[in-house]
Chains A and B, each alone.
Chain A
Amino acid sequence: MSDVRIGVYVCHCGKNIGGVINPAKVAEFASRLPNVVVSRDYMYMCSSPGQALIEDDIKKYNLNRVIVAACSPRMHEPTFQAVLKRAGLNPWLLQMVNIREHVTWVHEDTPDKAEEKAEELIAAAVARAAHLYEITTEKAPVVKSALVIGGGIAGIRAALDLANAGIKVYLVEKKQSIGGKMAQLDKTFPTLDCSKCILTPLMVDVARHPNIEIYAYSEVVDVSGSAGDFKVKVKLKPTYVDWSKCTGCGLCVEKCPGRAPSEFNEGLGFRKAIYFEFAQAVPRKPVIDPRYCLWFTKGICRVCSKVCPVGAIDYEQKERYVELNVGAIVVAIGYEIYDMSKMVEYGYGKFKNVITGLQLERLSDADGPTKGKILRLSDGKEPKTVAIVLCAGSRDEKHVKYCCRFGCAAALKHVYYIKHSVPDSKVLIFYTDVRAFGKGFEEFYQKVRSWDDVYFIRGRPAEIFEDKDGSLVFDVYDSNTGQLINVKADLVVLESAVVPPKDWEPLRRLLKVSCDPGGFALELHPKLRPFETTADGIFLAGTIQGPKDIPDTVAHAAAAAAAAIGFLLKGYVESVPYLATVNEDLCSGCGLCASVCPYDAITIEEKEGRRVAKVNMIRCKGCGACAATCPSGAMQQNYFTDTQILSEVSTLAGGAK
C-alpha cells in the first residue's frame, strides 16, 4: 500500500479522558501529523454512533489505517477491529492508543503533561501505522471434549452442563471421591437445608452420565498443545485396589485393623488404613493408605486381601498415566482453609478446644465423629459457652488481606448448630463487621440475633489462653461500648480465612493462567468476563477464582460451562494474528529461530537448493522470540515487526514536536 491514509479518533470516554485533557485539541494536533487524512474527537467512540462515525469516514475518505485513542486495547481492540471489518478493511490496520489507563487515569494531577503524553503516544501510533499491513489467519478444528479439573460443587455443575450439551467430559479429582467441601458441610445457610441431601444426587448424576468419565485420585501433571487441541497427561495415583474389580462392598474397610486420622473429618476421629473418603463417596471405591497399612509398614496383616470377595486388592499397583485430548479446560479446584496454627495468638493446634468452622461442621454432622453432637474435644463435655471468632486470619495484613465472603453467614449457621445441639448454651460472636449480603442472609441474620443468649460483640480476641480445665480465656476490646471484656469459653470456633489450594501454583503454571494478589486465578475481566482467563480455551469455575458461597459458585460454574460450550461448538479456532513470518530472500537457514521457539513451530527446510526457515501457522503462538533472535531480520512477527516497533520507539524517544 503506497498511499497511507490515516484516520485518528480521540475518545472523551465521558469525563474519564475528557475531564483531564482536551480531546478536541489533541485531535487537532493529530490532524497535522503525516498521512493523517481526518482526525476527530467524540464523547463515546465505542458507542454505536461513535462506531458509525469511523465506519462512514473509512468509506468517505478511503482510509486504509485507523487509530483510536481511547481505553486500553485489552478492553476495546476487538470492538474497533469489527468496525474496520464492517467497512471492508482488514482488522489489523487498526492501531489503538491507550490514553485512559496509561494517561488520564494516572496523571490527573498534571493535566498539561497528560495532554502532551497523549499527543506523543498518538504521534508514535501514526508513525507505526504507516508500516501496518493486512494479516490473515488460518482456522483449525476444535476437539469436542472438555477436561474439568476438580470435582467440588463447581466442577460437578460444570461437568453436568457440558455433558448435557453433548460434550465428552473428563473429570479429574485429586481425592478419591468427588464432592469437595460441600460434602463436609452439615447444613447450608441461609436456608439450613442438608448439604449432602442436595449434593449427593448430583454426584450420582455425574457418575451415571454417559458423557462423563471420572478420574478420581488423579492429578493433571502435564498440559501441552493449545486451545481447541490440548494434550493433557493425567497421573492415576496407586490406590492398591483394582477399582475395575471392586464392587464397593466395604468388607475390607470393616475388617481392616489399621487406624489413621480422618481427613474428611478434619483430623477429628479416625478412619481405617483402607477407607472410603466418606459413606456416600462417588466413586464408592476404597484406597489403601500405605502410611498406615500394616502390610506396607510392617509386612504383616493382608486382611483386606483375604476378605475381598473379588480379589481386587493389589499391593503391587503402581501409578499409571493416561493422555487425554480435549478442546477446552475448566478449572474448578476450589479453595483451602488457611492454616490456623499460623495465628499463634489463637492457640489453634495447641489447645484442643479451639477448632475451625469446618471442624464444627464435622461435629454437627450426624455422620461425623461425634454423631452430630457438639462436644468439647478435650473431655467430651457439652460446651455451655461458645465463642465464635469471625475473620480469623481474614482482612488481616499479617495473614490474608481479603474477605472470605462466607465466614459471616457460616457463623450464623454455626450459632444454629450450637443452639440446636446444646439448647441452654450461650454463644458469643466476635465480629469486625457482619456482612450479610446474599439473598436471604439479612433475614437470617436478624433471626439469629433475636435468639436468647446469643451476643454479638464487635472486637477481635487479643490472645487466647488455656485454663486448667481446658476452657479458654481471653480479653476483647468491645469497640461498640469501649470496654475491655474478659471472656471464659468452653469452646472457641474460628471462622478461618481461605486461600487457594496448595497445588494450584504448579497447575496454574502448566495452564499459563495468571493469579491475583491473593493467589486465586485471575479472570479475563473482573466484571465482564469473570469465568474466562487470558489463556484461550481455559475457563474458571467456582472458588478458584476467589472465595464464593455455594449459590455464587454454582452460578459461576454454569457460566463457565456455557462459555466452554460456546467455544467448543463454534467448531474451530483461529491461528493467532501475531504469527512469525519469514522473508525467504533474507533467510540464511541458520536455525537460531528454531532453537528459541518454545512450540517447535519452526523447521529448516530445503527450498530451491537453499535452506530456509518455515513456520507452522497453527503451532506458532506469536511470542516473537524468533524475530528478536534472527540475525538478518528475515524473521518478523506480524503486527510487531522490527520496523513497526522501531518507528514507535523512535517517536516516543524523540518526542512529537
Chain B
Amino acid sequence: MSEGRFEPRVVVFACNWCSYAGIDLAGTSRIKYPHNVRIVKVMCSGRVNPEMVLKALADGADGVLITGCHPGDCHYISGNYKTMRRYFLLKKLLKQLGLEERVRLEWISASEGERWARVATDFVEHIRRLGPLRLKEVMSSE
C-alpha cells in the first residue's frame, strides 16, 4: 500500500443495544477493521436526525454510517423503521447535493461482530475510492 494514501474520516452512529454491542463484539473477538471509523453511541438509531448526519459531513467527515438493529429487532419496538423512513428522505436530499454515496444505513446485530468488520471495511474502502469530501474547506473559503 502506498505512502500517504487518502485516509477517510468516517463517523458512525450506533445504537446501544444491537450495533454498539456488535462493534464491541468485534473488539472482544479481536476482529480487525480499518481505524478510520469513529463511533458515536445513541440509545436507538431512531435518535439520529438528518442534522447530525449533515453536521458530520459539513465539519469534515468524508462519510457517515448509520447502524441499528435489524428490522423487527429494535429494543424500542420500531425505532429502526423510523430510521429507515428518515434515511430514504435524507437520501433524496443528499442526492440533490451530490452526497448520496457518502451516507449508508446498515443493520448490525449484537452478535454480528464479523459482519460489522466487513461493513466497516467495505464502507471505508468505498469512501476511499470516492476521495476526500472537503466540505469544511469549501464552506469556510466561501
Contacts and interface: CB of A to CB of B under 8 A. Distances in A.
Interface of A: 72-74, 98, 100-103, 105-110, 113-114, 116-117, 120-121, 124, 509, 512, 514-517, 522, 534-535, 578, 596, 598, 621-625, 627-629, 637, 640, 642, 645-646, 648-650, 652-655
B18 interface: yes
B76 interface: yes
A594 to B, nearest CB: 14
Contacts of A515: 109, 111
A371 B75 CA distance: 50
B75 A512 contact: yes
Interface string B10-31: 0100001110110110111011
A313 to B, nearest CB: 41
A105 B38 contact: no
B17 A113 contact: no
Interface centre among A116, A512, A515 (most CB of B within 10 A): A512
Interface residues of B, number: 54
Contact of B47 (A73, A628, A650): A628
A87 to B, nearest CB: 24
A73 B41 contact: yes
A639 to B, nearest CB: 8
A107 B46 contact: no
Interface of B: 7, 9, 11, 16-18, 20-21, 23-24, 26-28, 30-33, 35, 38-44, 46-49, 51-52, 55-61, 69, 72-73, 75-79, 82, 86, 109-112, 117, 136
B72 to A, nearest CB: 6
A120 to B, nearest CB: 7
18 contacts: A74-B20, A100-B27, A101-B23, A101-B26, A101-B28, A105-B30, A107-B32, A108-B32, A109-B32, A514-B69, A515-B111, A517-B112, A534-B75, A598-B78, A623-B47, A642-B49, A653-B59, A654-B60
A637 B35 CA distance: 30
A640 B55 contact: no
Contacts of B49: 627-629, 642
Given A74-B20, A624-B47, A654-B60, A105 B27 contact: yes
Contact of B73 (A124, A509, A637): A509
A267 B128 CA distance: 59
Nearest to A121: B38
Nearest to B12: A652
Nearest first, the 8 closest Cβ-Cβ pairs linking A and B are: A101-B27, A624-B47, A623-B76, A653-B61, A653-B59, A654-B60, A652-B38, A105-B27
A640 B39 contact: no
A101 B61 CA distance: 22
A116 B117 CA distance: 20
Nearest to A535: B75
A652 B40 contact: yes
Contacts of B117: 106
Nearest to A518: B111
Given A106-B30, A653-B9, A514 B35 contact: no
Nearest to B112: A517
A511 to B, nearest CB: 11
B52 A649 contact: yes
Nearest to B78: A598
Given A114-B35, A627-B47, A628-B46, A72 B27 contact: yes
B43 A578 contact: yes
A624 B80 CA distance: 12
A625 B82 contact: yes
A646 B55 contact: yes
Given A102-B27, A106-B30, A649-B40, A514 B51 contact: no
Contact of A645 (B38, B40, B72, B136): B40
B38 A637 contact: no
Given A109-B32, A649-B59, A653-B56, A624 B44 contact: yes
Contacts of B44: 623-625
Contact of B43 (A113, A124, A624): A624
A653 B27 contact: no
Contact of A113 (B35, B40, B46): B35
A509 B31 CA distance: 28
A645 B48 CA distance: 9
A109 B72 CA distance: 37
A252 B108 CA distance: 54
A53 B31 CA distance: 33
B59 A72 contact: no
A628 B82 contact: yes
Given A72-B24, A646-B52, A653-B56, 11 more contacts: A72-B27, A100-B27, A106-B27, A106-B30, A517-B112, A522-B110, A625-B79, A627-B47, A628-B48, A628-B49, A653-B60
A640 B43 contact: yes
A534 B51 CA distance: 29
A622 B46 CA distance: 11
B38 to A, nearest CB: 4
Contact of A598 (B30, B52, B56, B79): B79
B9 to A, nearest CB: 6
Contacts of B52: 642, 645-646, 649
Contacts of B111: 514-517, 522
Contacts of B60: 653-655
Nearest to B16: A74
Given A514-B111, A646-B52, A654-B60, A534 B40 contact: no
A654 B62 CA distance: 10
B119 to A, nearest CB: 14
Contacts of A74: 16, 20-21, 24
A637 B47 contact: yes
A105 B28 contact: yes
A627 B30 CA distance: 35
Contacts of A514: 17-18, 21, 69, 73, 109-111
A35 B49 CA distance: 28
B43 A623 contact: yes
A509 B69 CA distance: 12
